[in-house]
Amino acid sequence: MTTTRNSKAHFSGRPVWAEVSLPALTHNFKAIRAYVNPPEEKRKAPRKVLSIVKGNGYGHGGPQVAKALEKAGSDWFGVTCTAEGIEVRKAGIRKPILVLTSFWPGEESRLLQHRLSPAIIRCDQLAALERAAARRGLPKASVGFHLKIDTGMNRLGISPGDVECFARQFAKCRHLRLEGVFTHFASSEVFANSPVAEQTRRQEERFHAALERLRGLGVDPGIVHLANSAAIASRPETWGDMVRPGVILYGYHPGYEPLEMRAEAEKKLPLKPVMSLRARIISLRNVPPGSGVGYNSKFVAERPSKIAVLAAGYGDGIHRSLGNRGSVLVHGKLAPIVGIVSMDVTMVDVTEIPGVQIGDIATVYGTDGEHTLPANAVARSIGTVTSDLLCAVTQRVPRIYLS
């Protein structure tokens, strides 16, 4: 177990780093797979899992987490774009990769070269993909893709009313193969008594009606998938043939409405935080009452205070809005962040924590021995979501993979 005094992370350089626990990631993946395959359901084939590793694996390192997840049995991977897909492929991933936000004109041949399956989000994209496949002289039905249907988010995907047009265009594309059809939920975490809480059910109905029309036109939809994290945890009727976990893979349930549902979800599907963001204390000073700390003196000491300076700021992923608001763990105790978070450093008040020394480790979120400062609680305290916080860890922060 990693403790503040005894970190397993060994590297040289500016002492800020993100520890990524591959056992925790594998635990979460296996827990999700077991959860969506309850023995009483008696399916012919196990329900598949498409691991969402976009956004550099929610900040954890896309290629590295994909490798661990492939080993754990992930059936598919989801990335944002061609470039992310290529990075994951180059890491040695052999399982299929779905490019969720589709491709931009000019990217088709790179998609095909790296065997990436694009999401088709507009009917006119079919002809472009077909032309690229023909140019490369690929065999018939060798280029897989998924069709995304927009069932109410009004973001990406063909409208249900375009299903006929899709079927007509697709019939002309002899190189293409429809591997799956999916939709994405706008509000699957909302159960509170509000019109938004009804949205998921309406999206499901539209999706299934579109699928029926597709089948009626002689098109086999292949793998049917809808569920993101909240739907996986709390809406079994949406699981389809495959689920697409994002934030739950990384150890956190989303923010349900009502909030009390989180405890219920955590009990049904216990997860382990994967990332711990840490920095060492690089300076310690005694600040007398009446003295300001940091830019614009937004914190003024009211008592003789011991202020520790961490080697991490918003340029590393400590959200600036945590200034004068959040806390970090030092020696397993909460040390309040004081003043404005700078780009490169953050000040914390360690007056109440005995024995703090230069070189000690602060945990911005994650685990510290038997203590945890959950990233979802930190996110909620500043009015954002866990994924935002995790993705905010910048490139200059080394990721240390613990196995």
Catalytic machinery residues:
54, 295
Establish if 2 lies at the interface with ligand PLP (CB under 6 A).
Answer: no
265, burial (CB in 10 Å: exposed 0-12, middle 13-18, buried 19+)? buried
Instruction: Name which of residues 31 to 60 contact ligand PLP (CB under 6 A).
Output: 52
Q: How far is the CB of 370 from ligand PLP (least distance, A)?
A: 27
Name beta bridge partners: 308: 284, 348
Sole binder of ligand PLP in the list 246, 313, 317, 323 (CB under 6 A): 246
Establish if 363 lies at the interface with ligand PLP (CB under 6 A).
Answer: no
Mask for 100-139, x = binds ligand PLP (CB under 6 A):
x---------------------------------------
Near ligand PLP by CB under 6 A, which window of 7-15, 158-166, 239-247, 372-380? Answer: 239-247
- With contact defined as beta carbons under 8 Å apart, do 82 and 111 qualify? yes
Instruction: Name which of residues 166 to 195 contact ligand PLP (CB under 6 A).
Output: 184
Near ligand PLP by CB under 6 A, which window of 5-13, 245-253, 278-286, 327-335? Answer: 245-253
Closer Cβ to ligand PLP, 327 or 376, answer by number: 376
Q: How far apart are the first and last CA of the chain?
A: 11
Sole binder of ligand PLP in the list 245, 313, 323, 339 (CB under 6 A): 245
The residue type found at 154 is N
CA of residue 356 relative to chain centroid, distance:
34
Q: How far is the CB of 38 from ligand PLP (least distance, A)?
A: 20
Taking each helix axis from N to C end, the angle separating 62-72 and 22-35, rounded to the nearest 10 degrees, works out to 50
- With contact defined as beta carbons under 8 Å apart, do 123 and 158 qualify? yes
Instruction: Name which of residues 68 to 87 contact ligand PLP (CB under 6 A).
Output: none
Establish if 254 lies at the interface with ligand PLP (CB under 6 A).
Answer: yes
Q: How far is the CB of 54 from ligand PLP (least distance, A)?
A: 7
Establish if 228 lies at the interface with ligand PLP (CB under 6 A).
Answer: yes
Distance CA 171, CA 135 (A): 19
Name beta bridge partners: 20: 275, 401
Closer Cβ to ligand PLP, 227 or 400, answer by number: 227
Cis peptide preceding 398, ω within 30 of 0? no
Sign of CA dihedral 372, 267, 256, 158: positive
101, burial (CB in 10 Å: exposed 0-12, middle 13-18, buried 19+)? middle
Tell me which residue has its CB nearest to ligand PLP.
Answer: 246
Binding site for ligand PLP (CB under 6 A): 52, 100, 184, 228-229, 244-247, 254, 387
